[in-house]
Amino acid sequence: MSDAKAPVILVIDDDAEVRYSLGRVLSSRKYQVAEAGSGEAGVAAVKKGPPPDLIFLDVRMGGMSGIEALQHIRAANPRQLVILMTAFGTAQTAIEAMKYGAFDYIMKPFDPAKVLTLAENALKAHADMRSAGDYKPTINADDYREGIVGASPVMQDVFKVIGQVTASDVTVMITGESGTGKELVARSIWKHSHRAKGNFIAVNCAAIPDNLIESELFGHEKGSFTGATNQRIGKFELCDRGTIFLDEIGDMALATQTKILRVLQQGDIQRVGGTDTIKVDVRIIAATNKDLESMVKAKTFREDLYYRLNVVRIKMPPLRDRREDIPQIVDFTLQNLVKQKKARVAKVAPEAMAVLSRYDWPGNVRELENLVYRSAVIAQGDAILVKDLPSEVLASAGAAPAALAAGASVASSTGSAPPLASGSGSASPVPPAALVATPTSVPSQTVEQALDFLHAELAKLDEPILERLEREMIVRSLKALDGNLARTSELLGMTRATLRKRVEDLGLQPA
Ligand SMILES: Nc1ncnc2c1ncn2[C@@H]1O[C@H](COP(=O)(O)OP(=O)(O)OP(=O)(O)O)[C@@H](O)[C@H]1O
Ligand SMILES: [Mg+2]
């Protein structure tokens, strides 16, 4: 806490002994402890104010129960952080505690170190929540009716091309990693084109088996194959005067590719099993995250079709190459979630936003959207805090989660947590960069933070840590280096013979 004033912690329990012992533990950390001997008294104290920074609340009390008191307290002050105390670790208590917005719960009898860690985590969350207090959104979602957000120069270029291709029927190829917004862009082209009154139909070529895709796209005549009990109109016909979006076109079978080429060249189709030629007026937009150039070289993708499709190419940049767009996408997503009543939270603590901006987002915007949704749902106050982000994201974004960092510091000052085995075992020192397997170079502060995080996290495990770590390190490094023993041994700082032996000892498949 940056406050000079000691944080105030209110202990609500009808057992004087618990109040006393908990009070002693907490005041050993220069927390100012207040007490209430019943749920009623506790609720009254909170309502009277000023609100404590944190409350420890007993679940089972004569009179008003802890769960009841929790509801009153949270109704009076939705940001109030409460840790429930219970002697019975039943699923019901845990579920109710979290449902009514407890920050966490702790089992009696207490482990003093755990109490202090928990208090520290909660107070950190409290501080984070306050730092989000005057949150200013970067955008107003209402201004983005297109649904595409991005102020980065690369996205501005994408917008320009969208504008340029809307006036004609030119075929567009959209490439980019998964979740970068390929379909969104395709829809936007359609909406702004003269075809907006026609249909937009997206066909995921990877999701439809080869033997069904032609019928899906071009339709079929009754009896044309087993199971074709009725005539069927295909997507191209349904899309007449509209736009068809052929997603994952790299997964389309060669035979089907030939038929797509025919549509592009002649503007007509034939239903499967049919003899009539049907004129269709369809604009094609295709997308792929595959490398079609190499597929053309490998003759798995038709060269002529490739050139036909690739008249205009839009490359969607991965999110990690336009990090400046991240806060806007976060705000856009949150505001939409609130509008749809899927979440209440519309703020993000600055530290949490910093983590989101640092993470690499392998799943791009889709991953970011999902994560924002998840975090908004589990956030307890009115802001997404660092503690609401998944630990994988925290670890690889190089932030020791507040919770775990606090745990580590308690451990070191009380000496009560088991020390993590230091690198003196059979494993040779491992280059930490390999732990945080990012392609870019890792600043050493990030490595420090990642190690802090690992240390705290691993201290909680009850298993031989070094062996597990070594196994993971070896497996991951081998994978990253395509099983190349020489380079892997170099990376791990061991001889090739040692690596081979460790691979054997750990029962790993060398392949
Ligand atoms: N620039 C953006 N602004 C706001 N939302 C976006 C943006 N880009 C993508 N999204 C959202 O991210 C999600 C994924 O987008 P989309 O489906 O268009 O990606 P994709 O590239 O087609 O992914 P895949 O290759 O996995 O099919 C959608 O919910 C979309 O609304
Ligand atoms: Mg898609």
Same fold, 8-110 and 171-310: yes
Domain ranges of the chain: 8-110, 171-310, 321-406, 418-505
Question: Please, which residues have CB within 8 angstroms of residue 314's CB and are 6 or more apart in sequence?
Answer: 158, 161, 162, 172, 173, 174, 175, 185
Confidence class for position 464, pLDDT limits 50, 70, 90: low
> pLDDT by residue (tens digit) across 402-451?
443 333 333 333 333 333 333 333 333 333 333 333 333 344 556 666 67
Question: Please, which residues have CB within 8 angstroms of residue 405's CB and are 6 or more apart in sequence?
Answer: 452, 453, 456
> pLDDT by residue (tens digit) across 183-220?
999 999 999 999 999 999 999 999 998 889 999 999 99
Distance in Å, CA 312 to ligand 1 centroid: 20
At 404 the pLDDT is: 39
Task: Return the DSSP state at 510.
Answer: -
Percent of the chain with pLDDT over 70: 86
> pLDDT by residue (tens digit) across 334-390?
999 999 999 989 999 999 999 999 999 999 999 999 999 999 999 888 899 999 999
Confidence class for position 96, pLDDT limits 50, 70, 90: confident
Nearest CA to ligand 1 atom 5: 148
Question: Please, which residues have CB within 8 angstroms of residue 140's CB and are 6 or more apart in sequence?
Answer: 335
At 168 the pLDDT is: 93
Q: Which CATH number fits domain 171-310: 3.40.50.620, 3.30.56.10, 3.40.50.300, 3.40.50.150?
A: 3.40.50.300
Hey, what CATH class is 8-110 in? alpha beta
Distance in Å, CA 91 to ligand 2 centroid: 40
Hey, what CATH class is 321-406 in? mainly alpha
DSSP string, 232-263: EE-HHHHTTTSEEEEETGGGS-HHHHHHHHHH
Looking at the CA of residue 181, tell me the nearest atom of ligand 1: 18
Pocket of ligand 1 (CB under 6 A): 147-150, 176, 178-184, 289, 329, 332, 365-366, 369
What CATH number belongs to 418-505?
1.10.10
Nearest CA to ligand 1 atom 15: 181
Q: 454 with 473: CB under 8 angstroms? A: no
Nearest CA to ligand 1 atom 9: 181
Q: Which residue has the higher pLDDT, 482 or 510?
A: 482
Substitution site in 145, 180, 200, 289 for ligand 1 pocket (most atoms within 8 Å of beta carbon): 180
Q: Is the pTM of this model over 0.75?
A: no
In the block, which residue shows the tokens 């269709």? 280
